[in-house]
């Protein structure tokens, strides 16, 4: 039986999502927990995609196969009880045998949280990226519109990334939400290149500070080279928010 | 020259405030930072009081003596730069030679943050104590009034504590503030016994759940024994909020 699980995790104390020897990873912890539930049997977990060290998830999606005979209601409780307290199971449900958490994705949404305040806040240091005011939110908001649509996003792909196929992706929505001292960037698309959201945020922050103009976003996209865009924003503000499937 | 410093810290990764061999402590980190600024000279720091493992501070007050000849404006910046990113210097200023961060306290305020939600929130696990609804805030609010005034708070002092002198303290204010899913308990007083705020919160939560009545708070105080009160609430919701001096 194949299962789909929606999990959230606090990325602060993980060396990223993907399993690695001698590192504490999300995949490693989930597989260890599932193995305990299956009397030591190795259960391989497939995710919608990786997240980097320090990046969080509110709606990461996984799939795995299991022959365990327990009522569906107990699955979530049992797995949550074994998992460490920085991973939470939001939902778990049986799916069709050919469901694939990575190949079947039709849309992903990321959020990036900024703290706009004179001083950094030590309690938010793992959860928001601090930027000092004044920052021109209107200019950042305006720059977002150039991201929407189908583009070659080479300028927003980490130079070291090895991408199979092209770098053309479709962004369905990109905008900022203001909330007191919080500024939340929301971006939804067909898929994202390595570090794409963080490089976009780094560029948007430069636009907010007036180092670049909103319309420079269009030029940067057209240049199709990493060095055209700004620095990669740090991981702690980034959340994999939601993954959608054609169900 | 004697200096007074107001600091905040995230208690999550400290073995409490007080210096201890081979443990990461707030005092240890502050003294290490000051020692670096003073070319290796040992600088002893005095705090308004200790905080336990996992307890946070928004306004802990320290004093120390220094002969360093640097402009006052540079003090905060220099110390902050050396300190780890879970300690922040909010203010630093010269004070009279006989100022004492502990002996001169006239009032302390603590806050305790509760998350009232069906599910725990992994991102707040170090910062709020999770309680599931329904919880009767009105009953908790009503119970607060019995705390206000001068009482022998023996019922709210950890059994293992060795207290010099009596256990009579004056509570000036105690109340709950509601904020969406957040519930903040604020308590200000002349001084607090070991674990006093956390035992009070544990008792108030029992009142909120109907295990005790609001007027039981009065009876618990009158019993003057630890076992009359409820379990100690966990450290992660507690913040040393403010310390006042007669200045």
Please tell me the predicted confidence (pLDDT) of residue A247: 74
Q: Which of A119, A122, A127 lies nearest to residue B123, judging by beta carbons?
A: A127
Token pair of A105, please? 């994705």
Q: How far apart are CA B5 and CA B11, in angstroms?
A: 18
pLDDT, one tens digit per residue, over B47-91 is 999 999 999 999 999 999 999 988 988 999 999 999 999 999 999
Q: Which of A87, A88, A122 lies nearest to residue B8, judging by beta carbons?
A: A122
Q: Does some domain include residue B60?
A: yes
Report, as an integer, the average pLDDT of A196-221.
98
Q: Which of A85, A122, A125 lies nearest to residue B122, judging by beta carbons?
A: A85
Residues of B serving a catalytic function are: 52
Q: How far apart are CA B2 and CA A195, in angstroms?
A: 49
Report, as an integer, the average pLDDT of B17-40.
97
User: Is there a single domain that holds both residue B118 and residue B156?
Assistant: yes
Residue B130 Cα, gap to closest chain A Cα (Å):
13
A110 annotated as belonging to a binding site for a ligand: yes
Which ipTM score applies to this complex? 0.89
User: Is there a single domain that holds both residue A142 and residue A44?
Assistant: no
Mean pLDDT over all residues of chain A? 96
Q: Inspect the interface and report whether the beta carbons of B127 and A123 lie closer than 8 Å.
A: yes
User: Is there a single domain that holds both residue B204 and residue B227?
Assistant: yes
User: Is there a single domain that holds both residue A120 and residue A219?
Assistant: yes
Q: How far apart are CA A12 and CA A52, in angstroms?
A: 10
pLDDT, one tens digit per residue, over A89-121 is 999 999 999 999 999 999 999 999 999 999 899
Q: How far apart are CA A120 and CA A116, in angstroms?
A: 9
The active-site residue out of A52, A86, A117, A152 is A52
Does the pLDDT at position A161 exceed 90? Answer: no
Q: Which residues of chain B have a Cβ shorter than 8 Å from any chain A Cβ?
A: 8-10, 56, 85-88, 119-120, 122-123, 125, 127
User: Is there a single domain that holds both residue A220 and residue A163?
Assistant: yes
For position B175, which CATH number holds? 3.30.70.660
User: Is there a single domain that holds both residue B170 and residue B237?
Assistant: yes
A104 included as an active-site residue: no
Please tell me the predicted confidence (pLDDT) of residue B100: 98
Residue A86 Cα, gap to closest chain B Cα (Å):
6
Q: Which of B86, B119, B123 lies nearest to residue A122, judging by beta carbons?
A: B86
> Closest residue of B to A123, CA-based?
B10
User: Is there a single domain that holds both residue A44 and residue A131?
Assistant: no
More confident residue, A83 or A164: A83
pLDDT, one tens digit per residue, over B150-193 is 999 999 999 888 878 899 999 999 999 998 889 999 999 999 99
Report how many domains make up chain B: 2
Please tell me the predicted confidence (pLDDT) of residue B178: 95
Q: Inspect the interface and report whether the beta carbons of A119 and B88 lie closer than 8 Å.
A: yes
Please tell me the predicted confidence (pLDDT) of residue B31: 98
Report, as an integer, the average pLDDT of B96-104.
97
Q: How far apart are CA B38 and CA A169, in angstroms?
A: 55
Burial (Cβ within 10 Å: 0-12, 13-18, ≥19) of residue B209? middle
Q: Inspect the interface and report whether the beta carbons of A88 and B119 lie closer than 8 Å.
A: yes
Report, as an integer, the average pLDDT of A144-149.
98
Residues in chain A within 8 Å Cβ distance of B127: 123
In chain B, what percentage of residues exceed pLDDT 70?
A: 100
Mutate to test the interface with A, among B83, B123, B179, B240 (most CBs of A within 10 A): B123
> Closest residue of B to A127, CA-based?
B123
Band of residue A162 on the pLDDT scale cut at 50, 70, 90: confident
Last residue of a domain, one of A95, A128, A152: A95
Token pair of B155, please? 């019922």
Report, as an integer, the average pLDDT of B232-247.
96
User: Is there a single domain that holds both residue B16 and residue B54?
Assistant: yes
Q: How far apart are CA B142 and CA A135, in angstroms?
A: 45
Token pair of A117, please? 């305040």
Mutate to test the interface with B, among A7, A85, A119, A122 (most CBs of B within 10 A): A122
pLDDT, one tens digit per residue, over B21-32 is 999 999 999 999
SS (H, E, C) chain B: CEEEEEEEECHHHCCCCCCCCCCCCHHHHHHHHHHHHCCCCCCCCEECCCCCCCCEEEEEEEEEECCCCCCHHHHHHHHHHHCCCCEEEEEEEEECCCCCCCCCEEEEEEEEEEEECCCCCHHHCCCCEEECCCCCHHHHHHHHCCCCEEEECHHHCCCCCCCCCCCEEEEEEEEEEEECCEEEEEEEECCCCCCHHHHHHHHHHHHHCCCCCCCHHHHHHHHCCHHHCCCCCCHHHEEEEEEEECC
Find the domain containing A127 and state its range. Answer: 106-245
pLDDT, one tens digit per residue, over A34-47 is 999 999 999 999 99
Band of residue A163 on the pLDDT scale cut at 50, 70, 90: confident
Burial (Cβ within 10 Å: 0-12, 13-18, ≥19) of residue A84? middle
User: Is there a single domain that holds both residue B71 and residue B183?
Assistant: no
Report, as an integer, the average pLDDT of A19-33.
97
Residues in chain A within 8 Å Cβ distance of B85: 122, 125
Q: Inspect the interface and report whether the beta carbons of B125 and A86 lie closer than 8 Å.
A: yes
Residues in chain B within 8 Å Cβ distance of A85: 122, 125
Please tell me the predicted confidence (pLDDT) of residue B244: 98
User: Is there a single domain that holds both residue B89 and residue B140?
Assistant: no
Q: Does some domain include residue A101?
A: no
Q: Inspect the interface and report whether the beta carbons of B125 and A9 lie closer than 8 Å.
A: no
Please tell me the predicted confidence (pLDDT) of residue A101: 98
Residue A76 Cα, gap to closest chain B Cα (Å):
12
For residue A143, the Cα-to-chain-centroid distance in whole angstroms is: 21
Convert A173-202 to b/e letters by CB count within 10 Å (16 or more is b).
ebebeeeeeebbbbbbbebbbbbbbbbbbb
User: Is there a single domain that holds both residue B26 and residue B143?
Assistant: no
Residues in chain B within 8 Å Cβ distance of A120: 88
Band of residue A73 on the pLDDT scale cut at 50, 70, 90: confident
Q: Which of A56, A88, A122 lies nearest to residue B10, judging by beta carbons?
A: A122
User: Is there a single domain that holds both residue B238 and residue B206?
Assistant: yes
Please tell me the predicted confidence (pLDDT) of residue A136: 97
Last residue of a domain, one of A60, A95, A130: A95
Sign (positive or negative) of CA dihedral B210, B197, B147, B58 = negative
> Closest residue of B to A56, CA-based?
B123
């Amino acid at each position: 039986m194949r299962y789909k699980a929606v999990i959230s995790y606090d990325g602060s104390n993980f060396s990223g999502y993907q399993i690695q020897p001698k590192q504490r990873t999300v995949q490693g912890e989930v597989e260890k927990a599932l193995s305990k539930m299956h009397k030591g049997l190795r259960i391989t977990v497939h995710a919608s995609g990786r997240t980097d060290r320090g990046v969080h998830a509110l709606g990461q999606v996984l799939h795995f196969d299991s022959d365990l005979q327990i009522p569906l209601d107990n699955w979530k409780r049992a797995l949550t009880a074994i998992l460490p307290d920085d991973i939470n199971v939001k939902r778990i449900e049986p799916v069709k045998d050919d469901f694939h958490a990575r190949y079947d994705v039709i849309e992903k949404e990321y959020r990036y949280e900024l703290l706009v305040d004179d001083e950094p806040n030590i309690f938010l240091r793992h959860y928001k990226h601090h930027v000092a005011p004044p920052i021109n939110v209107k200019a950042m908001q305006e720059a977002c519109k150039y991201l929407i649509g189908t583009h070659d996003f080479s300028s927003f792909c980490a130079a070291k990334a090895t991408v199979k196929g092209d770098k053309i992706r479709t962004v369905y929505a990109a905008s900022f939400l203001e909330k007191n001292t919080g500024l939340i960037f929301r971006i939804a698309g067909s898929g994202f290149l390595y570090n794409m959201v963080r490089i976009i945020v780094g560029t948007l922050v430069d636009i907010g500070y007036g180092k670049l103009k909103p319309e420079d976003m269009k030029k940067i996209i057209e240049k199709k080279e990493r060095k055209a865009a700004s620095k990669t924003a740090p991981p702690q503000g980034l959340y994999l928010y939601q993954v959608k499937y054609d169900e």
